[in-house]
C-alpha cells in the first residue's frame, strides 16, 4: 500500500510538446547555470581574482533571479508565456556568448547577470506550467524535469575536460551552451502555450503562510545545492588535493548523483509521502558531508560528493510540489516567487562561503552546509504544521 494516499495517479502520464519544451528549456538553463562552478577556477586564475570577487559571478546570477522573483509574474502576464520564454531563451544565448568571450571580469559578470535575468524566467514559468499541464502527475513531472536538467548539467564538466584535452581551453564549453539554447528555442518557437489560469488575478496576490514556510525551505535546499555545485571544483583541488583537470571532471560526480537520485525520485514520490522522503534525503546529505568534509581527501571526498548529490537531489522538486500544493490556485504567482528564493539563496550562501573562505580557509567555510541542513528540517516541520492547522480550520468552518 502506498504511503502517500494523496497521489493515486492515472495509469499513464502523457508527455506532449509543451512538457518536452519545459524539460529541454530548463535543461539548457541548468547547463549554463551549473557550468559556473567549473568556469570559476579558470576565471579566477586568468584574472587573478580573490574568492570574494570571484563569487560576485554568483551574486550577478542571483541578482537576476531576484529580479525574476519580483517582476517575473508581471512580465509573464503582460507578454504571455510564449513570448516570455522566447525572450529568456535569447537572453541565455547572449549570456553564453558574453561569458565565452569574456576578455575581462566585467563582461563575464554581465553574462552571469543575463543567466539570472532574463534566463531565470525559464524555470520561473516551467514549474507552474508543468503543474497545470500534468495535474496529479505533477510530482513525477517535477522529478523528471529536474533529472533531465542534470543530464544537461553533467555535460558541462565533461565538455570542459574534453575541450581542455583538445587544447582548446574552457571557453568552447560555454559557447556550446549557447548553441544548445539557440537550437531548442528555435525548435519550439511555434509551439502554442496556454497562459496561466491565474493570469487575470491581481499582481500582488496573498499567498498562505504554509507556502512561505516551504519557500524558506526552498532557500535552504537551493543554498545547499549551489554551495556544493559552485565550490566543489575548488574544494576538490585546494582541499582534497586533486589536480585542476581531475577536479573539474570529478565535480561531475555530484551531477551524476543528482541525475540518479532525481530519476529514482520520480518513482519514489509515487510510493513515499514527501515529508519522510525529504527527512531521509537530508540524512543521506549529512552522511555525505561527513565523507566530503570530515575525511576530505581523494576517494573519500569524491564518495562524499556523490552522497551529497544523492541526498540533495530530491530536495528542490519535493519542495516545489509542497509549495505549489500549499499555494492552491495561485500557482503562477507562487512559481514566479520561487526564483526570488533561488536568487536570495545563491546571492547569500555561496557568496558567504566565499567570504568565509578568504578569512578562514575553504575547508572551514564549508561548515555552513550542516547549518543549512538543520535550518531545512526546521522549515519543513513548520510548513507541515501550518498545512495541518489550515486543514483543521477548514474542517471547523465546514462543521459550523
34-68 confidence digits (pLDDT tens): 788 788 888 888 888 877 788 788 889 889 989 99
Residue 11 maps to a domain? no
Report d(CA 63, CA 345) in Å as an integer.
10
Report d(CA 73, CA 338) in Å as an integer.
11
**What grid cell was written down for 246?**
581531475
Report d(CA 395, CA 13) in Å as an integer.
32
Residue 44 CB partners (closer than 8 Å, separation 6+) = 51, 54
- Which H or E run includes 268? helix 252-268
Residue 199 maps to a domain? no
3-state SS assignment for residue 117: coil
* 343-367 per-position pLDDT tens digit: 888 778 877 888 888 889 889 999 9
Q: How far apart are the first and last CA of the chain?
A: 34
**What grid cell was written down for 110?**
554581465
Q: What is the pLDDT of residue 9?
A: 45
Report d(CA 124, CA 71) in Å as an integer.
11
* 91-103 per-position pLDDT tens digit: 999 999 999 888 8
Domain extent, residue 90, equals 18-192+205-399
Number of domains in the chain: 1
Residue 324 maps to a domain? yes
Q: What is the pLDDT of residue 294?
A: 86
Confidence of residue 197 (pLDDT cuts 50, 70, 90): low
Q: What is the pLDDT of residue 398?
A: 65
Report d(CA 353, CA 52) in Å as an integer.
9
* 149-167 per-position pLDDT tens digit: 878 877 887 888 899 899 8
CA proximity to 315, closest of 393, 228, 392 = 228
Structure letter (DSSP) for residue 48 = T
Residue 2 maps to a domain? no
Residue 85 maps to a domain? yes
Residue 305 maps to a domain? yes
Best mean pLDDT range from 248-252, 316-320, 355-359: 316-320
Q: What is the CATH number of the domain that holds 81?
A: 1.20.1250.20
Helices 209-238 and 331-360: crossing angle in degrees, nearest 10, is 40
| Burial grade of 86 (CB within 10 A; 0-12, 13-18, 19 or more) | middle
Residue 76 maps to a domain? yes
Residue 66 near residue 343, CB atoms below 8 Å: yes
Report d(CA 345, CA 195) in Å as an integer.
28
Mean pLDDT of the chain: 85
- Grid coordinates 561531475 are at which residue? 252
Amino acid at each position: 500500500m502506498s504511503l502517500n494516499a494523496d497521489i493515486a495517479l492515472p495509469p499513464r502520464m502523457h508527455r506532449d510538446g509543451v512538457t518536452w519544451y519545459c524539460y529541454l528549456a530548463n535543461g539548457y538553463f541548468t547547463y549554463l547555470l551549473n557550468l559556473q562552478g567549473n568556469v570559476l577556477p579558470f576565471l579566477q586564475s586568468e584574472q587573478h581574482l580573490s574568492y570574494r570577487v570571484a563569487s560576485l559571478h554568483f551574486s550577478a546570477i542571483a541578482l537576476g533571479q531576484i529580479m525574476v522573483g519580483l517582476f517575473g509574474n508581471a512580465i509573464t502576464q503582460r507578454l504571455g508565456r510564449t513570448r516570455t520564454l522566447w525572450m529568456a531563451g535569447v537572453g541565455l544565448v547572449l549570456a553564453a556568448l558574453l561569458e565565452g568571450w569574456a576578455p575581462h571580469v566585467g563582461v563575464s559578470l554581465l553574462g552571469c547577470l543575463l543567466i539570472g535575468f532574463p534566463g531565470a524566467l525559464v524555470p520561473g514559468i516551467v514549474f507552474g506550467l508543468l503543474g497545470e499541464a500534468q495535474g496529479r502527475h505533477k510530482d513525477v513531472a517535477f522529478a523528471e524535469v529536474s533529472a533531465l536538467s542534470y543530464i544537461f548539467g553533467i555535460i558541462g564538466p565533461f565538455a570542459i575536460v574534453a575541450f581542455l584535452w583538445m587544447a582548446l581551453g574552457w571557453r568552447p564549453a560555454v559557447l556550446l551552451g549557447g548553441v544548445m539554447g539557440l537550437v531548442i528555442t528555435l525548435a519550439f518557437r511555434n509551439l502554442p502555450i496556454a497562459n496561466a489560469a491565474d493570469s487575470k488575478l491581481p499582481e500582488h496576490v496573498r499567498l498562505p503562510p504554509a507556502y512561505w514556510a516551504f519557500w524558506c525551505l526552498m532557500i535552504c535546499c537551493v543554498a545547499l545545492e549551489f554551495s556544493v555545485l559552485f565550490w566543489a571544483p575548488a574544494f576538490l583541488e585546494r582541499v582534497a588535493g586533486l589536480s585542476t583537470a581531475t577536479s573539474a571532471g570529478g565535480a561531475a560526480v555530484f551531477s551524476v548523483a543528482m541525475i540518479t537520485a532525481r530519476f529514482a525520485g520520480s518513482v519514489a514520490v509515487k510510493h513515499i509521502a514527501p515529508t519522510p522522503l525529504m527527512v531521509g534525503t537530508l540524512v543521506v546529505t549529512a552522511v555525505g558531508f561527513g565523507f566530503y568534509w570530515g575525511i576530505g581527501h581523494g576517494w573519500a571526498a569524491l564518495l562524499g560528493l556523490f552522497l551529497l548529490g544523492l541526498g540533495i537531489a530530491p530536495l528542490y522538486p519535493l519542495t516545489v510540489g509542497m509549495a505549489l500544493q500549499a499555494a492552491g490556485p495561485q500557482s503562477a504567482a507562487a512559481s514566479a516567487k520561487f526564483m526570488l528564493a533561488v536568487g536570495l539563496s545563491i546571492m547569500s550562501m555561496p557568496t558567504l562561503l566565499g567570504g568565509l573562505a578568504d578569512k578562514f580557509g575553504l575547508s572551514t567555510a564549508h561548515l555552513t552546509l550542516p547549518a543549512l541542513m538543520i535550518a531545512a528540517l526546521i522549515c519543513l516541520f513548520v510548513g507541515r504544521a501550518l498545512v495541518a492547522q489550515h486543514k483543521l480550520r477548514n474542517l471547523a468552518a465546514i462543521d459550523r
